[in-house]
């Protein structure tokens, strides 16, 4: 009987090499599997940037949207774009956008791999973006834009699930 169970297990389970090669689960994908009710179509969510500090708090910028759809997909991660001689904090807006669009990405020394990513399609409802020049490479929101797209009501965008938070109650 034990022998039969062992034979069945060998036939039904994928080989260890296949398990090792399967795509890793990113936090955004885990979130969709663990809490699918948080990202149902029509749910109000917010993407936030800034707000750091205890006493002198930075301004908080946001994008408020409604979920259209959420899904987990497997993607081959690219290597992060690099600008020779610059750190990410020194990027201009175009370089920062290119980096954010490649995210999630791998460092130059990392080997290529696939990962499962939880992506959420959103319909924009409202926003507040920074206009100060020092904020041009700090995030996805800047001067009325989400990356390189001019923000407008009902614009459809896509973000990883772990970058989103539920809207405050009553909204």
pLDDT tens-digit series, residues 26-64: 888 888 888 888 889 999 999 999 888 777 777 889 999
Q: What is the Cα–Cα distance from 146 to 89, expressed in whole angstroms? A: 18
Report the alpha-carbon distance of residue 152 to residue 127 in Å, rounded.
9
Tell me the domain boundaries of the chain: 23-166
pLDDT in tens, 69-82: 999 999 999 999 98
Q: Would you say the C-alpha torsion 63, 66, 72, 75 has a positive or negative sign? A: negative
Task: State residue 97 phi and psi, 5-degree precision.
Answer: -60, -45
* pTM for the whole structure: 0.79
- Token pair, residue 112, equals 């290529």
């Amino acid at each position: 009987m034990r022998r039969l169970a062992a034979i069945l297990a060998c036939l039904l389970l994928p080989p260890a090499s296949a398990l090792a090669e399967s795509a890793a689960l990113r936090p955004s994908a885990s979130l969709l599997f663990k809490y699918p009710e948080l990202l149902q179509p029509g749910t109000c969510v917010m993407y936030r940037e800034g707000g750091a500090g205890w006493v002198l708090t930075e301004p908080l910028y946001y994008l408020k949207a409604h979920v259209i759809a959420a899904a987990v997909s497997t993607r081959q991660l690219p290597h992060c774009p690099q600008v020779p001689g610059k750190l990410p904090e020194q990027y201009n807006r175009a370089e920062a956008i290119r980096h954010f669009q490649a995210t999630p990405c791998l460092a130059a020394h990392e080997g290529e791999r696939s990962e499962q990513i939880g992506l959420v399609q959103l319909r924009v409802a409202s926003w507040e973006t920074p206009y100060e020049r020092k904020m041009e490479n700090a995030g996805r929101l800047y001067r009325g834009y989400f990356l390189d797209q001019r923000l407008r009501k009902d614009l459809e965008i896509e973000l990883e699930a772990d970058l989103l938070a539920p809207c405050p109650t009553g909204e």
